[in-house]
Amino acid sequence: MDVSGGRGQPPPGNGESADHTGPQPPAPDPSHQGPEGPEGPRPPASAGPAEEPAEDAPARPGTPAAPSDSPRPGTPAAGDPGDGQRDRRTGGGPPLAHSGTGQTPPPQRPQEQQRGGLLMGRPFGVPVYVAPSWFLVAILITWVFGGQIDRVLPELGAVSYLVSLFFAVAFYASVLVHELAHTLAALRFKLPVRRIQLQFFGGVSEIEKEAETPGREFVLAFVGPLLSLVLAGLFYLGLLAVDPATVPGVLLAGLMVSNLIVAVFNLLPGLPLDGGRMLRAVVWAISGKPMTGTIAAAWVGRALAVAVLIGLPLLTQSGALGSDAVDNVGMDTVLDALLAAILAAIIWTGAGNSLRMARLREHLPELRARSLTRRAVPVETDTPLSEALRRANAAGARALVVVDPDGVPLSLVREAAIVGVPEHRRPWVPVGGLAQDLNPGMRVSAELAGEDLLDALRAAPATEYLVVEETGEIYGVLSAADVERAFVKAMARPS
């Protein structure tokens, strides 16, 4: 497994209040990951059931506004963002719904500490986290390797397990070196690195953008296994200088073998391993299409997963990996089969995630602020909510912008706040009391698209954004929920 590297993406976490949430940034590229997880532009994290099937980021249910024959007071409803490229300021769109039931909840913003684990440091400015699952692996390594040390050096007694614990820490330190190789290469190519995380079966370097050329992609993937091979060589040279039947000799031998395994395993030509990324780069260079490279490397990765599932237990039982051949089924055979199943599942899932994220990246430029924006009507602060909703329904608008007497936008009326106002009280509730002040980051250009749009939303997480023309004229309101559903649709469309 990628006890080394690659890049991956953690699952969405829980967020803060609805008033301070928004879509997340594009996540690292799916082809640059370890088997721990996918990587690529991520849809905003969600907190509800899926509207359409998508494994990486479920959509939350949204209720398109129901058309009515006459304007009626109500709440703006979360409609389908992908219903056309029409100008939302002049084109109609469904009028506001009569009630707020079925209101789409705002996306949640994950908390870095919850998702990252224990922060260990920031080498080269990149945070390094240790996931809780690492401690389980450290205990397992201590138990297994401690037993082996006890057989080689029985005079150590219980101290052998302390030596084994040191080996576990040293081994993951070498995994960190592997990840730092990916990170330094990415920084050299001016690709932002979000974080490094040490996890259950290795580590992941979360690189947020894709390499621009297949050559850079190849280098970015190869430096990790290369560093692991270098470490194995250094440990071998150290082993030549000590007695193998001593504690330093046993540690150096274990670290040499483990780093060699890390390098060889990661060079296997299938996503999400580094070798799969190298294969992707080669196919990309030949075909001129990064998506073709991803498809080829992902299917090789799936074939590799099947081979691991079937072949690893057979090799272990036959004694081909250096142990004695086993004729009957015992506990060791069961553990080997379980390990093979876990590895195969990780590789298969990572390959599938690579395909999905590559598909999303291919469709990402189609996400445009102009086409996702809801038409809005300007209202002054003291306008009663019922009157503001009447104007919105009459104009076919689905959002409210609070402006001063000169027409300068001041704030946005939140959908969640409208839902909380009973209909019989709306004539006495001014819209100003339901609005969220416009922070500088909540103004986005109507020309933004793709990753530029996501970067702008990430800079100021919120549920709604004011979309303006280059002249400063109000274009409309962009809902984070609409962006999320557009992500899901992009994921579902074939390449």
State the Cα angle at 400 between 395 and 404, rounded to 5°: 110
Instruction: Give dist(CA 32, CA 277) in Å, integer.
Output: 7
Residues of the chain with pLDDT under 70: 1-116, 319-332, 491-495
The per-residue pLDDT for 491 is 67
Here the tokens at position 231 are 């470490």
Q: Is 202 helix (H, G, I), strand (E, B) or coil?
A: strand
Q: Quote the pLDDT of residue 145.
A: 86
Strand partners, 411: 402, 437
Cα–Cα–Cα angle for 10, 456, 376, nearest 5°?
A: 120
Residue 180: the pLDDT is: 96
Both tokens of 369, joined, read: 């602020």
Per-residue confidence (pLDDT) for residue 111, from 0 to 100? 42
Q: Output the pLDDT for position 324.
A: 53
pLDDT per position as a tens digit, 203-255: 899 998 889 999 999 999 999 999 999 999 999 999 999 998 899 999 999 99
Bridge partner list, 205: 196
**373: exposed, middle or buried (C-beta count within 10 Å: 0-12, 13-18, 19+)?**
buried
Hey, which residues does 400 pair with through a beta bridge? 377
Determine the pLDDT at residue 320.
Answer: 58
- The separation between the first and the last C-alpha atoms of the chain, rounded to the nearest angstrom, is 29
Q: What is the pLDDT of residue 134?
A: 87
Question: How far apart (Å, rounded) are the C-alpha atoms in residues 186 and 164?
Answer: 33
Q: What is the pTM of this model?
A: 0.64
The number of C-alpha atoms within 13 Å of 389 and in the hemisphere containing its C-beta is: 29
pLDDT of residue 493: 66
Token pair 């294969």 is found at 279
How many whole angstroms separate alpha carbon 223 and alpha carbon 275? Answer: 11
What share of residues in the chain are helix, strand, coil (percent, to 5)? 50, 10, 40
H or E stretch covering 186: helix 159-188
The string over 323-360, giving b where at least 16 C-beta atoms fall within 10 Å of a residue's C-beta and e elsewhere, is: eeeeeeeeeeeeebbebbebbbebbbbbbbbbbbbbbb
| Residue 485 burial (C-beta neighbours within 10 Å; 0-12, 13-18, 19+) | buried
| Burial class of residue 265 in the structure, from the number of CB atoms within 10 Å of its CB (0-12 exposed, 13-18 middle, 19+ buried) | buried
pLDDT at 8: 38
Nearest to 440 by CA among 460, 470, 415: 460
